[in-house]
Chains A and B, each alone.
Chain A
Amino acid sequence: GDSVTQMEGPVTLSEEACLTINCTYTATGYPSLFWYVQYPGEGLQLLLKATKADDKGSNKGFEATYRKETTSFHLEKGSVQVSDSAVYFCALRTSGSRLTFGEGTQLTVNP
């Protein structure tokens, strides 16, 4: 079955540091890949997505590239801000099936 494995947290960084949160997946078929973010006290919201191999999703300075050869979708940001503190979830979905999430990675950015 489909599964997503995320880098374990929590991750604590100083403001302006570089961020990478690893995500790898296994899936039957050709999944679309997503990163969702959950800010404190709020629901999950889509951060970015990629629907086919070599696509790059980007939003709010975050990027992730769909790598079919390594079955990965690592989330990166060059310079994090305190406001980026949240829980980040990698997810995949194939057509006609449910959204499958990783376990989430808690990110804390200190000023």
Chain B
Amino acid sequence: GAGVSQSPRYKVAKRGRDVALRCDSISGHVTLYWYRQTLGQGSEVLTYSQSDAQRDKSGRPSGRFSAERPERSVSTLKIQRTEQGDSAVYLCASSLDGAGGTEAFFGQGTRLTVV
């Protein structure tokens, strides 16, 4: 496939459980982002990495969100001890490099519902 793909598309998790969301980015892309998109709050960046180095971590609270990049074009977002406020659409995006004008390509997102 030529684009960014995410799996699963939908995930329901019980509060307190850990979840893992997968992103297959475009081969050759160096920069990878995870965003959380909630209604009325826009898109909040969770993690941002270039190659396999974690460049930035943010999110609320930061300790529960982490991203691993076992292969250059694969990333897994892990959310520990999920809370109801974690219900959102999680978007993965990648870009060829870290230059300012480079387009980022997005996956379709994973909709997480915490019950």
Q: How many residues of B contact A (CB 8 A)?
A: 25
Q: How many residues of A contact B (CB 8 A)?
A: 27
> CB distance B100 to A32 under 8 Å?
yes
Q: Which residues of A contact B (CB under 8 A)?
A: 6, 30-32, 34, 36, 41-46, 49, 51, 89, 93-104
> CB distance A43 to B106 under 8 Å?
yes
CA A42 – CA B106 in complex, angstroms? Answer: 10
Contacts beyond the supplied A99-B33, A103-B41: 20 A-B pairs with Cβ under 8 Å = A6-B42, A30-B100, A32-B100, A32-B101, A34-B103, A41-B108, A42-B108, A43-B91, A44-B93, A46-B103, A51-B101, A93-B100, A93-B102, A97-B100, A98-B33, A99-B93, A100-B45, A101-B45, A103-B42, A104-B43
Q: Which residues of B contact A (CB under 8 A)?
A: 4, 33, 35, 37, 40-43, 45, 48, 55-56, 91, 93, 98-104, 106-109
Distance of A52 from chain B, by nearest CB (Å)? 9
Closest 6 CB pairs of A and B: A103-B42, A51-B101, A44-B106, A32-B101, A32-B100, A98-B48
- Chain B's closest residue to A30 (CB) is B100
CA A103 – CA B45 in complex, angstroms? Answer: 12
For A99, give its contact among B41, B55, B104, B107 (CB under 8 Å): B104
